[in-house]
Amino acid sequence: MTEANATPPGRGTVLRVLGVAALGGIVLGLATLGTCGWSRNPTTLNTPDSKADDKPEKEPTIDGRPLFADWPKGQKPDATLILSGQTFGFLQPCGCSRPQMGGLERRAVFLNSLKAKGWSFVGFDLGDLYPQKSAIDDQAKLKYRLTMNALRDMNYVAVGVGKSDFTAELDKVLGEYVLQKEQPPYLLAGNLLGMTNGQPQPREDRFPKPPGATRPMIGVAEVAVVGGIPVGVVGIIGKTLAEEVKKLDPSFTFADNGLVLKGAIAALEANAPKPLLNVLLYQGTSTEAALLAAAWPQFQIILCQADDPEPPQFPTQANNGKTLIIQVGHKGRYVGVVGAFKKAGGGFDLKYQLVPLTEYFITPGSEEAASKANAVLPLLETYSENVRDRKFLTRMPKGPHPAQIQEPKLNLSYVGSDKCQNCHAPQFAKWKGTPHSHALDALEKIAKRPSQRNFDGECVQCHVVGLHYKTGYEDQKATPHLAHVGCESCHGPGSGHMTNKDNAGLQALQIPWAQKAGERLPELELIKKIGALPSIERGKVPLKPQESRIINAVSSMCGKCHDHENDPNFDFFTYWPKVFHTFPKADGGAKPDPEK
């Protein structure tokens, strides 16, 4: 195919492999499509534009070694395969703390850097693009659609189907992209069938061709020509997930994977041009993938589910090193890159690189320049505008706070931190000097890429008081007194205590981490002492059982927002002194602690 050899770096010709999967076997037909890929110019890697005093971010390394250090020097891969999966709706780091990893913007910058080097690449995703959980279904759909559009711009050809896609009701998921227009990336799950009246329903009947399309909504395989090299990709679902799906939705069942793979391989081998490399998107465990690799050595690359959110540095090798079994972790923090180098005697030498998507891959320049250089950024901004305009923030579900459940007759409500200062002046003064007191400003005035996160409940929940609870924050117009992280974020709704401050029962409701009156955290100096020690030495500091329990309880409460993903530097023993607000009652406690 002459047009395939002429494709520019970073783009490839996609060939369709249509399948009819049934229990008896597979019949496939082939056709050629046009090219797909980038619509933006490559960018130069640089540093984030958020602060004038930012130091240049160093190029990421793996185990201290530069990326691609073990690949042939001065030689471009003949074909490059980009592997990702199990993103679970993660679009972009929240930006609340640094450093953070992952996000579609950084993936696009990384791929643009390969394009700038003249590398020809194509992308394959394992699936599980849909969020695992979302308070608002419509917002989850927006994320899925954005991700599929971004993958198309990044020259992805195929995406598998994962558990999160089934959990969200697969037919609804298909309506967000596949049913809109026939375009890459195409969904692959070759062994997926329908179940009607107790009988298996062929995949092409359960997921028929949309009007005007040439493919069923879910296919078996695709072929892409990358740098003149035909690459086949097949997608199937493993036994463990298949059993889960059948319990989740009895309208689905699955064909025998052996029959599906046999038919898919036969069709790929009969294709013109015949693929020289085959990739399997396997929605199964690494253990299942190892068994499958032994039975189907025709696949040189198998991308399977991750055993852990943090992926292994190296792939598992099977078939005497001829097959690579690859995991790429969760939430798009990493991508896997396979480089195929032609060997003189035929075949390929396959090289693998796990790439951490660090701040090194943030699009440089002003917001306007970055938006023009990176096709993902306008998609993110449009998503943010949709979240705002459709008023998702006001649709966030609210339930009773534990205190409201314990005392339903009191109708406890949130009152706002300003109401607390009348009796707790030093505590209020200390709070006013902490970032907690203006937490929402970070979303409203600082956040970029995308902006307007102060309208997104998934962000706002950790920047206001009581978003998920009755009488809690709604928006800046209805509940301005509950903006920012305030007293009641930890202590709970304070109306009862405010109106009856001497009631011991109501006081107890305001300290949910204590099991009985009088329990408190260790003294500030002890917490500082522990925080100054190396982690390995901290366990040697003697603590009372009660102190250890309360430390764990309070730290766990902080960790609901200061988790590893959103605040990788969080350390209770170094953070707590910054917000410490337990002062002696002498002099009315009028002087706030000087520790900031």
- Is residue 57 domain-resident? no
Predicted TM-score of the model (pTM): 0.87
- One domain, residues 202 and 242: yes
Please state, in angstroms and rounded to a whole number, the distance separating the CA atoms of residues 565 and 547: 27
pLDDT for 269: 95
Last residue of a domain, one of 385, 420, 448: 385
Which CATH number goes with the domain that contains 160?
A: 3.60.21.10
Number of domains in the chain: 2
> Based on the domain organization, do 381 and 433 belong to the same domain?
no
* Tokens, residue 263: 């038919």
Q: Which sign, positive or negative, has the C-alpha torsion 516, 521, 522, 523?
A: negative
Select from 385, 419, 449 the last residue of a domain: 385
The per-residue pLDDT for range 334-370, each reduced to its tens digit, is: 999 999 999 998 899 999 999 999 999 999 999 999 9
> Are residues 362 and 431 located together in one domain of the fold?
no
Q: State whether 377 and 439 are in the same domain.
A: no
Long-range contacts of 586-593 (CB under 8 A, 24+ apart): 588/425, 589/424, 589/425, 589/426, 589/427, 590/425, 590/426, 591/426, 592/426, 592/427, 592/429, 592/430, 592/433, 593/426, 593/430, 593/524
Q: Are strands 221-226 and 229-237 parallel, antiparallel or unpaired?
A: antiparallel
- Give the helix/strand (H/E) hosting 552: helix 545-559
Same domain, 377 and 307: yes
Do 416 and 480 share a domain, yes or no?
yes
How do beta strands 277-283 and 316-318 pair?
unpaired
Q: What is the extent of the structural domain holding 505?
A: 401-589
Quick one: DSSP state of residue 162?
-
Does a structural domain hold residue 16? no
At which of 355, 385, 415 does a domain end?
385
Same domain for 339 and 424? no
Residue 51 lies in a domain: no
Say if CB 578 and CB 434 are below 8 A apart.
Answer: yes
Report yes or no on 19 lying in a domain: no
Do 250 and 325 belong to one domain? Answer: yes
273 pLDDT above the threshold of 60: yes
Question: Are 207 and 338 members of one domain?
Answer: yes
What is the domain-level CATH number for residue 408? Answer: 1.10.1130
Cβ proximity of 583 and 593 under 8 Å: yes
- Do 411 and 295 share a structural domain? no
What was the pLDDT predicted at 568?
A: 87
In this predicted structure, what is the pLDDT of residue 286? 97
Does 477 reside within a domain? yes
Regarding whether 432 and 288 lie in a shared domain, the answer is no
Residue 52 within a domain = no
- Asked whether residue 198 falls in the same domain as residue 345, the answer is yes
On whether residue 571 sits in a domain, the answer given is: yes
- DSSP per residue, 225-289: EETTEEEEEEEEE-HHHHHHHHHH-TTEEE--HHHHHHHHHHHHHHSSSPPSEEEEEEES-HHHH
* Percentage of the chain exceeding pLDDT 70: 88
- Model confidence pLDDT, tens digit, residues 518-529: 888 999 999 999
